Homo-oligomer: A and B are copies of this chain.
Amino acid sequence: MQTPEQALASYLAARNLKMTPQRRLILREFLQSGSHVSCEDLWARVKAVDGSIGQATVYRTLKLLADSGLANPVDFADGVTRYEPHYGQEHHDHLICEQCRTSIEIVDPVIERRQEALAKRHGFVLSHHRMSLYGLCAACRAKASGS
């Protein structure tokens, strides 16, 4: 089993791209920063370690990670692209509280299977999908009814 850094290295090598200290650092911080990091967030983390790193490099590297399959873009419908690590992880979808913005990762094998079936029926071959369920979590509902 290879580490994420090795995975990135071989992805880069395979297309004549280079492993740099910046990419190594951004990858490391990305993996440690939990789910749903925006480029801005990650840039802040990365700058704390190496203040000389430019924002454009973070954008470029995150896109690279997404292409290589190590990161997945996540859409929270708020105009900011967020990414989550995708390495040796199962795919999952999101359950998002519209009040407190908490998000829970969910998977449902039945849904996944139906999605494939649906696509097939229309002649599609799926590469990926996004499913986000929006609503109110128990805590926020309690607060709302209490007030």
Chain A residues within 8 Å of B, Cβ to Cβ = 73, 75, 77, 95, 97-98, 104, 106, 108, 110-111, 114-115, 118-119, 122-138, 141
A113 to chain B, nearest CB (A): 9
In contact, B122 and A127 (Cβ under 8 angstroms): no
Given A119-B133, A124-B133, A124-B135, 5 other A-B residues pairs in contact with their CB atoms under 8 A: A73-B77, A75-B75, A108-B114, A114-B114, A118-B133
- For the complex formed by this chain, how many copies does it contain in all? 2
Output the least CB separation between A119 and chain B (Å): 6
B106 touches A118 (CB 8 A): yes
Provide the bound-state CA to CA distance between A135 and B121, in Å.
Answer: 13
A65 to chain B, nearest CB (A): 17
**Which residues of chain B have C-beta atoms less than 8 A from A126's C-beta?**
133-135
> In the assembly, what is the distance between CA of A14 and CA of B134, in Å?
26
Q: Which residue of B73, B110, B119 contacts A114 across the interface (Cβ within 8 Å)?
A: B110
